[in-house]
Amino acid sequence: MKKRMKMLLLLGFCCGMVFGDQNRSDPHDQRVFPVLSINYDYVQMPFEVSLWILLASLMKLGFHLLPVLSGVVPESCLLIVVGLLVGGLIRVMGKNPPVLDSQLFFLCLLPPIILDAGYFLPIRPFTENAGTILTFAVLGTLWNVFFMGAVLYGACRLEAGRLASVDLLSCLLFGSIVSAVDPVAVLAVFEEIHINELLHILVFGESLLNDAVTVVLYHLFEEFAHAGEVTVGDVFLGVVCFFVVALGGVLVGGVYGVLAAFTSRFTSHTRVIEPLFVFLYSYMAYLSAEVFHLSGIMALIACGVVMRPYVEANISHKSYTTIKYFLKMWSSVSETLIFIFLGVSTVAGPHAWNWTFVSITIVLCLLSRVLGVVGLTYIINKYRMVKLSGKDQFIVAYGGLRGAIAFSLAFLLSSDDFPMKDMFLTAIITVIFFTVFVQGMTIRPLVDLLAVKKRKQSKCSINEEIHTQFLEHLLAGIEGVCGHYGHHHWRHKLNRFNKRYIKRCLIGGERSQEPQLISFYNKMELKQALMLLESNSSANLSAGVTAAIPRQRSRKTLNISKEREEEIRKILRGNLQKTRQRLCSYSRHTLKPDAEDDDWSETRLRKQRVEMERRMSHFLTVPALPESPPARRARVESV
Amino acid sequence: MGSRASSLLREEDIEEIKKETGFSHSQITRLYSRFHSLDKGENGALSREDFQRIPELAINPLGDRIINAFFPEGEDQANFRGFMRTLAHFRPVEDNEKNKDLTSGEPLNSRTNKLLFAFRLYDLDRDDKISRDELLQVLRMMVGVNISDEQLGSIADRTIQEADTNGDMCISFSEFIKVLEKVDVEQKMSIRFLH
């Protein structure tokens, strides 16, 4: 609590400093030498950005220290409330709170979350349910848009008064903005309820893939509203546009993914920058797709999915860990910032409240979602092998949360074409609040109440891997016997094509020939060796290492060959002792590979410290004239 | 072997197969025409060579074992009844069947029977246990020739160690079921036969 108050006060102070007085230098005045001077303008932008991020992270920290709260209320709700408070505080101080800038949102805040989702997308359940997911994403969203648009228009006609000026096109546009399920909100809420994999991938996959539909419809209706009239040819072009946007996005993502995989093949000598390639190529894929108004989200997902198997075979274990943690970190920060800004923007934005419009919108959102899911499931179940039960349908319908994407899209509308923009914004914010607060908070008790299957916490087991692969081969064979070109047949063909041609290009060295089973096994062994040592952690590390092996050997009658034991020891020695020591890595080009370099680096460290002290003293005795930043940066770099 | 007429499918046969396997009428006729097209010798039964002619099985690592599964113990010819009986294991599990009163034992496509079919593919000598050697053979087939015997051996050891609960260094059928309890076998071992 205290920390939060301090941060808020500091924030207020800094905002006040924005209009603080500057260093007005009067050349004719003989003034005292300023020992301490304040120049806030110089660092204003990065300072404020860092302060926001710091605030967001401290909030996150705070919530997890209060287990009672975080057990009941999902994090997203708490963050929005914090945003509201901060916005209120800023307003009380007389300034205008910042609104969630759409460009900032789409270019900086959204990509990390989507990349994190796409890179770690579980491929097997996704492809097995691809048909269902696509149906929900495309047909479901289309149904939502047109149903909502039409009924809203009807309601506006009936209501008359202020709503009379809302025409069909505006209603349809509003429908297209508000009916898309939001991946950020879904992730934020579903992460915490640990629902079973099938439902998770259905709702989440839908929220990702409906971006293409949303993008097309949004631009379509915006263009129509701008142009003024609609012809049949335009509608047809709209349909073509959908395919172009979706497939184009995937293609762009795929190309960048292949490039990233190919680049990672040659990074064995510069391991330190390996993660950078992954991030840069993915971001470039997103930006390139956005240039052509293709679906950036689908490009990002495609890039992550395509590059992952090859990149992971090529990069070092450390780079893999780095990528994982950076992605999680960035996406977590982004998500926190998005929700806080959503709260702040609510306080800031111009509002035009209209009871009828807002209430009809909320009711329609729920209604169209439920109808859409039930109707589509009825059709889908005819083609599925594992049918979706009523409980599944309920969760899918209830999990259709709206979020910041809807808000940003509405914010981008131009006020000239859409005089009702403020009303739309208010309605959308209300819908977002409703879905996130009401649905987000109640979904966990409902999941428990309905006894929906939760995610099974299964350790990776080599048995499952072997038998699953075995079954896949078996099924592919049986499909061949039946003459039936089904799911397994094509997957088998894709695997063989992958193994024969693609892996050879994109994976460097001898790893290209390594079967999947072996790499899985190696990863598992490494993980277990690390876990074994961490659980046996004692002051004397080497004793722990040698003690662990014979202990395990006696517990289970396992005969590990001598070479295997040596291999295990090497792995443990190489990886584990290093993580215990604080590595001094001064070189920006490589990380120290061995612990033998310790004495050498010790002396270097001492030398560098002496040098640094010498330079610092020199710096302090020279009069501090406002130096040009590049020169100062150069000096620092040379240290 | 036998005249042309006896190799054509009769209504009584279709009814019997339907009762035994649960396939629908149209599925049976469709699969019969497939059976007929595979049967190059036109003698109402399939031989091993007929199966080996299927391109998908030729490149499949488990091809030989799958072919063997179609032939009953010791025989060299697979007639249509046997063909359908084997394929019946891969029918999707239907919801209404789960609750049906089982009068003639479990249907062929129940989860246990599916797993039993897979188990029998590992367990060649039919002693109801997957020994280390049998596991090694299967692993070798799936992994190819580039991996050393020793590495494969440690994988096999690890696999048995994970699954074995009674310490006999073999995987019995119940241990096999237990290991795969988290895997969605109903979906993984089902083929959508067209109606």
- Domain final position from B60, B89, B118: B89
Residue of A nearest to B176 (CA): A463
A473: chain B residues, CB-CB within 8 Å:
60-62, 142
Pick from A471, A484, A488: CB nearest B118? A471
Closest-CA residue of B relative to A197 is B184
Dist CA A607 CA A272 (whole Å):
25
pLDDT tens across B116-125, in order? 888 888 888 8
How far, in Å, CA of A445 to CA of A71, rounded?
Answer: 11
- Minimal C-alpha gap between B41 and chain A (Å): 17
Residues B157 and B116 in one domain: yes
A23 or A159: which carries more pLDDT confidence? Answer: A159
User: In A66-102, which positions are buried (b, 16+ CB within 10 angstroms) versus exposed (e)?
Assistant: eeeebeebbbbbbbbbbbbbbbebbeeeeeebbbbeb
Calculate how close chain A gets to B91, using CA atoms only, in Å.
Answer: 10
**How far is A496 from chain B, CA to nearest CA, in Å?**
10
CA distances (Å), B8 to each of B11, B21, B50, in order? 10, 19, 18
Specify whether B182 is located in the same domain as B123. yes
Contact B66, B60 (CB under 8 A): yes
Q: Give the per-residue pLDDT at A632.
A: 42
Specify if B7 maps to a domain: no
Q: What is the pLDDT of residue A256?
A: 94
Report pLDDT digits (tens) over A256-281.
Answer: 999 999 888 888 888 888 899 999 99
* B111 lies in the same domain as B177: yes
Answer whether A486 sits within 8 Å of B192, measured CB to CB: yes
Q: How far is the C-alpha of A78 from the C-alpha of A298, rounded, in Å?
A: 30
Domain that holds residue B165: 106-194
ipTM of the complex: 0.89
Q: Which residues contact A297 (CB under 8 A, 6 or more apart)?
A: A110, A114, A183, A208, A211, A212, A249, A286
A483/B191 touch (CB, cutoff 8 Å), yes or no: no
Are residue B22 and residue B48 in the same domain, yes or no? yes
- Inter-chain touch A473–B142, beta carbons under 8 Å: yes
Question: How confident is the model over B155-179, as pLDDT tens digits?
Answer: 888 888 888 888 888 888 888 888 8
CB spacing of B138 vs A486 below 8 angstroms: no
| pLDDT tens per residue across span A193-236 | 888 888 888 998 998 888 888 888 888 888 777 776 677 888 88
> Would you say residue A408 has pLDDT above 80?
yes
A454 by DSSP, 3-state: which? strand
Lowest mean pLDDT among A99-108, A221-230, A249-258: A221-230
> Residue B47 pLDDT more than 80?
yes
Look at A479 and B191 and tell me if their CB atoms are within 8 Å: yes
**pLDDT tier at A326, thresholds 50, 70, 90:** very high
Q: Is the pLDDT of residue A595 over 50?
A: no
Q: Contacts of residue B142 in chain A, CB cutoff 8 Å?
A: 466, 469-470, 473, 515, 517
Examine the domain organization and report whether B79 and B117 are in the same domain: no
Q: What pLDDT score was predicted for residue A163?
A: 67
Q: What is the pLDDT of residue A588?
A: 57
* CB contact (8 A) between residue B57 and residue A458: no
- Give the pLDDT confidence of A327-379 residue by residue, as tens digits: 999 998 898 888 888 888 888 777 778 888 888 889 999 999 999 999 999 99
Provide the pLDDT for residue A590. Answer: 53
More confident residue, A30 or A442: A442
Q: A102-450 maps to which CATH number?
A: 1.20.1530.20
| Residue A20: per-residue pLDDT | 43
pLDDT at A252: 94
At residue A4, the pLDDT reads 66
User: Are residues B122 and B42 part of one domain?
Assistant: no
Query: What pLDDT, on the 0 to 100 scale, is given for residue B192?
Result: 77
Please tell me if residue A473 touches chain B, with a CB cutoff of 8 Å. yes
Tens-digit pLDDT profile for residues A601-635 = 556 666 666 666 666 665 555 444 444 444 444 44
Q: What does each C-alpha distance from B146 to A470, B139, B152 come to in angstroms?
A: 19, 12, 10
Q: To the nearest whole angstrom, how far is the Cα of B155 from the nearest Cα of chain A?
A: 7
Count how many domains chain B has: 2
Nearest chain A residue to B115 by CA distance is A471
Of B138, B158, B191, the CB nearest to A470: B138
User: Which two structure tokens, joined as six digits, stand for B102?
Assistant: 């089982």
**Closest Cα to residue A172, out of A155, A149, A148?**
A149
Sequence spans of domains, chain A: 1-71, 102-450
Is the distance from CB of A401 to CB of A460 less than 8 angstroms? no
Q: How confident is the model at residue A457 (pLDDT cuts 50, 70, 90)?
A: low
Among candidate residues A134, A130, A149, the one with its CA nearest the CA of residue A368: A149
Who's near A119: CB < 8 A, 6+ residues apart? Answer: A278, A282, A304, A305, A308, A323, A327
Q: What is the mean pLDDT of residues B88-103?
A: 63
Interface test with A, best of B89, B154, B170, B180 (most A CBs within 10 A): B154
Contact B63 A515 (CB under 8 A): no
Nearest to B153, CA basis, from A463, A555, A561, A468: A561
Is some CB atom of chain B closer than 8 A to the CB atom of A558?
Answer: yes
Contact A466 B154 (CB under 8 A): no
Please state, in angstroms and rounded to a whole number, the distance separating the CA atoms of residues A623 and A180: 60
Task: Provide, rounded to the nearest whole percent, the portion of chain A with pLDDT above 90.
Answer: 11
pLDDT tens-digit profile of A528-579? 787 787 777 644 444 434 444 444 444 444 556 677 777 777 777 666 654 4
**Tokens 């692969």 found at:** A469
Give the residue-averaged pLDDT of A34-42.
Answer: 86
Identify whether the C-beta of residue A404 lies closer than 8 Å to the C-beta of residue A342: yes
Residue of A nearest to B64 (CA): A477
Distance CA A201, CA A196 (A): 9
Give contacts of A469 with chain B, Cβ < 8 Å. Answer: 142
Q: Which two tokens stand for residue A356?
A: 């009828």
Q: What is the CATH number of the domain that holds B144?
A: 1.10.238.10
Give the best residue of A391, A474, A517 to mutate against chain B (max B CB count within 10 A).
A474
Mean per-residue pLDDT, A507-515? 67
Considering only CB atoms, which chain B residues are within 8 Å of A476?
Answer: 56, 60
Looking at the fold, whether B85 and B131 belong to one and the same domain comes out as no
Whether the per-residue pLDDT at A17 is higher than 70: the answer is no
Instruction: State residue A377's pLDDT score.
Output: 92
pLDDT at A174 over 70: yes
Quick: pLDDT tens for B124-156.
888 888 888 888 888 888 887 777 888 888 888
Pick from A386, A468, A496: CB nearest B186: A386
Q: Are residues B71 and B132 in the same domain?
A: no
Q: For residue A251, what pLDDT is reported? A: 94
Whether B145 and B83 map to the same domain: the answer is: no
Give the number of beta-carbon pairs within 8 Å between A and B. 134
Q: What is the pLDDT of residues B53-88, one digit of tens each?
A: 888 888 888 888 888 888 877 778 888 888 888 888
Average pLDDT, chain B: 79
Cβ(A284)–Cβ(A276) below 8 Å? no
* Same domain, yes or no: B20 and B75: yes
Q: What type of residue sits at position A40?
A: Y
Best of A199, A463, A525, A526 to mutate (most B CBs within 10 Å, chain B): A463
pTM greater than 0.80: no
Query: Is the same domain home to B83 and B111?
Result: no
Q: Tell whether A500 lies on the interface with B, counting CB pairs under 8 A.
A: no
Q: Tell me the C-alpha distance between B133 and B111, whole Å.
A: 26
Q: Is the dihedral of CA A186, A190, A195, A198 positive or negative?
A: positive
Contact with chain B for residue A556, Cβ under 8 A:
yes
Q: Please report whether residue B134 resides in a domain.
A: yes
Put simply, the answer to whether A480 touches B56 (Cβ < 8 Å) is yes
Kindly state whether residue B62 falls inside one of the protein's structural domains: yes
Q: Note whether A190 and A200 are within 8 A (CB).
A: yes
Q: Identify the residue with better confidence: B161 or A13.
A: B161
Regarding whether B76 and B116 lie in a shared domain, the answer is: no
% of residues, chain A, pLDDT over 70: 77
